[in-house]
Structure 1
Amino acid sequence: MPSSRSALAFAGDLARATSFDELARRLYAGVDQLFGPVCVGFDLLDPDTHEARRTSARGVSDYFMARYDRFARRRDPVLTFAIDHRAVTYNLSMMSSSEWRSLGIYQEVFALHRMTSLVYAPVVAEGRVVATLNLGREDGADGFDAAQLEEAGALADLLGAVLGSQQRADALARRANRYAAAIDLCDEAMVVTDLDEGERHINPSAAAVLAERGPEEASLDEELALHGRAGELVRRSVTLEDSGALVTFLNSGKHGGRLPEWLLRRLTPREAEVVALVARGCRDGEIARRLTLSPHTVKGYLRDVYQRLEIHSRVELTRLATDKER
């Protein structure tokens, strides 16, 4: 058995995984600490149908995996019991060794590795079975004792907690991306500042407004600090309670040369800043100085914009930047 310290280190290593693949790699790297030499699999399931979405294993051949998925998965009574009852299930607790060997799935699949001891531990996240932890030993090796079955259950619980955390993080990221896309489509010049993370999202309309300001004019942060969150540039700024976010709306009336909305929707915020300055007649060096970029980076932005808009010159880009009707 591993020491408490090594078991805790293994658990901490699993908890830091940020994807299913990384979690599987860390599981395989440390599972022998708990069970000794063992074949191990970790299968991600559809939580509604329990069909396998991703399968992985260590200690068995790819041929074994392919045979199991094709001929055994739907007929495996041990797996079915584990999922249906949400319980750690040991084949030799359900039947004798000779009965296990007489099953078609043993003869067709498990015999490839002479696997006579088999444990499935369902992995539950958000109240649903989303994966299974699979452990196996070959004929002649010790079976799984009660303490190891308990360890398998505890490990499955930890895997479920990590997968649940990953699912919630993925859901939050998708939601954040949807909100960011919606903000980018907004005609209002808007800046969202994450005060907890020190990050800022500038929508294309706001990027165009900021790009048109000269070096002698106050920056956004200077105006926020010096003008009480309202002034020539800042129209209104609101702190969202309990979110750590500051939403700032910019004045755009004085900037008649703001890029048309159809064009803004096709540009990133940084590209919009570059294009707005091109439309004002600025050359690459001046754009680079204003935006604190290298001339090479400015050329790269313009190359990408030309390709996306299917144009070839600054003249064409300036014409598009003033085309309000498209």
Structure 2
Amino acid sequence: MRAVPAKSPSTPEEANLAVLLRAVELYEGVPRLLPRASALEDAGRKLASRRAAEAVPHLDAALNLYTQAGAERDAARVRRRLRAVGAPRRRTSSRRLAAAWPELTASEVAVVRLVAQGLTNGRTAEHLGISPHTVSSHLRHAFTKLDITSRVELARLAAEREHAQ
């Protein structure tokens, strides 16, 4: 997916693009979804203004990460960018996940899915690029809405709902 200019940047615009593409490279091994998605979106946006075809893989990857993280507004923004460069994308798995968890918000679903896989609040926060306190808040709200009191119950419920889809 790397689209580095062939020669050293000669204009400030090319230098900016090179920096954005380098950020994408640096975030590749980072498990935090939102910062990775943001770097990909920024690079895709810059590429779209010059080379639309090269922007699509970056924007697609950003869309997938935003969807995985439950960041609906960010995903919608990237879908609009993809439409603008002639590569429209449909809503993907977030609708299916919403159907499995109709009582929860998209952010709560993202947290619940990771916690149900056994991640701690800290690891979930790192993965989503949010604070551990936000994870705790989403979990409290989800537990109340789902009428459960433990992570074990959450894991059982997640297995039932997501395998029934």
Specify the TM-score bucket, using the shorter chain as the normaliser: 0.3 to 0.5
Largest Rg, 1 or 2: 1
More strand by share: 1
Q: Return the structure number with greater relative CO, CA threshold 8 A, min gap 6.
A: 2
- If the length of structure 2 is used for normalisation, what is the TM-score? 0.47
